[in-house]
Chain A
């Protein structure tokens, strides 16, 4: 029977139906759980990126705001409809006053696209905090752009020089990961991931300029 013409086709079909069926059922059962977790992580990241400014404005403790994630998010963070910008935008508001903005930005890494969240001051020129949300870089090399020492170099860094949105990144000097920065304009690259490190700076430069110009028009 196994050598007949039809048996292999029928057998393969049955196997595909069984395994695809198992996968489909498993996915359906887990879909809600996965989506809820992803939303929770995203909200945590958005709040964490703006928590410093919220704490400043409310005189609350940073950890206290983060511990009550659901309440804090409801209370301080609002999604903003920025039509035409095509980037998710959030604001942190304390007593009807906006203290920080947070944008989802996109760029290209060495192997694929990257997504990040960046919070900015209300003039859209300085980074408050920065986190990589998605990346497809080499584990152990380019993927190390998610490490805190790399991200920390961008905190409180000016990215738009003047009202003409002049490119400030051309004045940055890149140094090796093992070197100790001696000046403000020095940025460390991840060892073995020069292109990925540069891609992060390029993504921030392009996105910041785009956001800065858009928000100027949006406000006016």
Chain B
């Protein structure tokens, strides 16, 4: 499989959110602002890519009985490395990220890709798969947060686009709105592009 195909499959054809229904918790929690979604997405792309790369490098020596423990260790270590690096070298960005860096550990897409792809494929392929899965996840977050921020705050990336006439929809700011937007997104994509039966 070519690297381009790996990326397209991982990001779109077999997207972690709309095809595998993974990473739903964070998709619901962080999507009320586009900035939050982008930051979370970038953190996940970085961690997924490097965790996949490392897990793939050591796959031939990793015993099956402890493979998931090793995967968790690698993922958690990368998340902490990102956290320390940002705190020391980019403190402003670190402050903006707040709890998001820590939240990356809980994202099930990371374990999913480590187990399904990185533990069975070459390092470069796994690295591209990680980037693809991260990009696909970020795309979903941005679509949901675009709708929520626009209707909930009248803004896009914090820039006010709706005038004073606009009455913000409070429900869009709260988590329940993400439930039905995500559900409609999954339903639409699956019926439109995968011919899934309703």
Contact = CB atoms under 8 A, between A and B. Distances in A.
A11 B81 contact: no
- Interface range for A: 20 to 34
Interface stretch (A114-122, A133-141, A196-204): A133-141
Q: Interface majority SS on B: helix, strand, loop or mixed?
A: helix
Nearest to B63: A8
Contacts of A26: 81, 84-85
B7 interface: no
Interface stretch (B11-19, B25-33, B110-118, B179-187): B25-33
Given A8-B65, A26-B84, A33-B88, A139 B170 contact: no
A191 B80 contact: no
- Interface range for B: 20 to 34
Interface string B60-101: 011111100110011001001100110111010000001110
Interface in A1-54: 2-3, 7-8, 11-12, 15-16, 19, 22-23, 26-27, 29-30, 33-34, 37, 41
A93 B69 CA distance: 57
Contacts of B77: 19, 22-23
A139 B30 contact: yes
A181 interface: no
A11 B91 contact: no
Nearest to B170: A191
Q: Interface majority SS on A: helix, strand, loop or mixed?
A: helix
Interface in A31-89: 33-34, 37, 41
Interface of B: 29-30, 32-33, 36, 58, 61-66, 69-70, 73-74, 77, 80-81, 84-85, 87-89, 91, 98-100, 167-168, 170, 173-174
